[in-house]
Amino acid sequence: MTRLPKAVLFATAVFALCLVPAGLDAGEKAAEKVNAVVVTGGHGFEQKPFLAMFEAFKAQGITFTHAPQKDHSELFEDISEWKYDVIVLYNMTQKISEKRQKNFMALLDKGVGVVVLHHALGAWQNWPDYAQKIAGGKFYLKPTEENGVKRPNSGYKHGVDFTVHIEDPKHPITRGLKDFKIHDETYCRYSVSPKAHVITTTDEPSSEKAIGWTLGCGKARTCFIVNGHDGKAYANPGFRQLVANAIRWAAGKLN
């Protein structure tokens, strides 16, 4: 067998390390596959560029199934043959029966992770466990009183250029990432759970300060990211890597 020169072996090793996505160490579970289900419905969005982002994630071992909801939450009607590691919520649907709520929580008890994106913070307004235990916050579609506290309706602003600040650079989702600028929609007057661990923030005045956080529910890891309104955001490299890392972390593949 012909031995390769040391210089060639060294160059090959360096190239291999460069293929590891941002936020992953060479020794971590980058090769392990993650099977995600992407839930949409109840809010318009640019479908082609949105799904193109998930197609790009296949290079990081993330496969996905798009599950648009016609009955708001039918994905959780029967979970007997559940096959997904992570649920990515990009829906703003509202109806979810008690049976479906229990099935959803049963999945979390088994360790199925959840990544909540953008307008999904406003989904299932009448299901307290969703805001408190899964999303870790709530976008109020109308003025609301909760536990004696009056909440005004939340707000938004289209087409804002702002900086996403990496608040916790040591967290697995944000490790290796740097602050990045994005053209996106901002939200304000939403709530954030006191149990949430904030990983990204912004100083943009039209937004709340905390714009990304993690939470635990049962055996599951859950994460919320406020970004992701349209094609400009979907194409942003910083946002893409943040979402990919969040999916891998929620699946237990990024530690």
CATH number of the domain enclosing 116: 3.40.50.880
pLDDT at 248 (0 to 100): 98
Asked whether residue 14 is assigned to any structural domain, the reply reads no
pLDDT at 239 (0 to 100): 98
Contact 200, 208 (CB under 8 A): no
pLDDT at 6 (0 to 100): 47
Contact 186, 162 (CB under 8 A): yes
pLDDT at 148 (0 to 100): 87
What is the Cα–Cα distance from 227 to 196, expressed in whole angstroms?
Answer: 17
pLDDT at 31 (0 to 100): 56
* Residue (of 132, 75, 112, 116) closest to 227 by Cα position: 116
pLDDT at 147 (0 to 100): 82
Asked whether residue 228 is assigned to any structural domain, the reply reads yes
Asked whether residue 22 is assigned to any structural domain, the reply reads no
Asked whether residue 27 is assigned to any structural domain, the reply reads no
The reported pTM is 0.88
**pLDDT string in tens for the chain (255-residue length):** 444 444 434 443 433 333 344 545 444 544 589 999 999 999 999 999 999 999 999 999 999 999 999 999 999 999 999 999 999 999 999 999 999 999 999 999 999 999 999 999 999 999 999 999 999 999 999 999 988 889 999 999 999 999 999 999 999 999 999 999 999 999 999 999 999 999 999 999 999 999 999 998 888 999 999 999 999 999 999 999 999 999 999 999 987
Q: How many domains does the chain have?
A: 1
Gyration radius (Cα) of the chain, Å: 19
Expressed as residue numbers, the domain containing 143 is: 32-250
Strands 86-91 and 113-117: parallel
Asked whether residue 90 is assigned to any structural domain, the reply reads yes
Asked whether residue 139 is assigned to any structural domain, the reply reads yes
Asked whether residue 23 is assigned to any structural domain, the reply reads no
Asked whether residue 11 is assigned to any structural domain, the reply reads no
pLDDT at 18 (0 to 100): 37
What is the C-alpha end-to-end distance of the chain, expressed in Å?
Answer: 39
